[in-house]
Amino acid sequence: MRRSMAIVILYSVLLSQSFAVTNEFQKGSKYNVNSSSEFIFESYPNQELIPIRLLGAIKNAGLYHIPANMKLTTLLALAGGTSADADLEKIVIGNDQQMIQGSNGEETKSLTIDLEETLKKGAKNDYTLVSNDIVLIKNKSPIVSNDAFRTISIVSVILTSILTAIVIKDRYKK
- Secondary structure of 97-157 as H, E, C letters: CCCEECCCCCEECEEEECHHHHHHHCHHHCCECCCCEEEEEEECCCCCCHHHHHHHHHHHH
Has this prediction a pTM greater than 0.75? no
Q: Which amino acid is at 42?
A: E
Q: In this predicted structure, what is the pLDDT of residue 32?
A: 53
Q: What is the mean pLDDT of the chain?
A: 78
Q: How far apart are CA 127 and CA 118, in angstroms?
A: 9
Full pLDDT tens readout for the chain, 174 residues: 555 555 545 455 444 444 444 443 444 455 555 556 778 887 788 888 999 999 999 999 999 999 998 999 999 999 999 998 899 999 999 888 777 776 667 777 888 889 888 888 877 778 889 999 999 999 887 777 778 778 888 888 888 888 888 888 888 876
